[in-house]
Amino acid sequence: QVQLVESGGGLVQAGGSLRLSCAASGRAFSFVLLTMGWFRQAPGKEREFVAGRTGSNTYYSDSVKGRFTISRDNAKNTVYLQMNSLKPEDTAVYYCAARPYSGTGYYNRASQYDYWGQGTQVTVSS
């Protein structure tokens, strides 16, 4: 089992930046062997993929490409989402997700992930 805890959400003006963190913990797991992802869900909408990282391979949704960056610190068992040039449409609850590593790939569906955090609210004001 892997537990994920997000932090770093908050209220920011349009054009501003936030960095989300997701700390992983659990028994008998190796963080370096996890594929990590970030998703978000706005009120009344489905959960959508934001960014993923498999090994050193990163990938993003078109809506955030060029503005968001996913990174990880394996020594700290933590994955980050740096969000720049934020827009009001980025307002959502952001979730961290993890899945056991199963080779390089593009994991952009929520059903592909086994573990989820509780979410952190990001609100971007116009």
Kindly compute the dihedral angle of the four CA atoms of residues 115, 4, 108, 99, in this order, to the nearest 10 degrees. -50
- 60-67 long-range contacts (CB < 8 A, ≥24 apart) are 61/108, 63/89, 64/90
Residue 23 has pLDDT above 90, yes or no: yes
pLDDT level of residue 91 (50, 70, 90 thresholds): very high
Residue 107: predicted pLDDT: 94
The whole-number pLDDT of residue 89 equals 97
| Cα–Cα distance, 112 to 119 (Å, whole number) | 18
Q: Which 8-state DSSP code applies to residue 26?
A: -
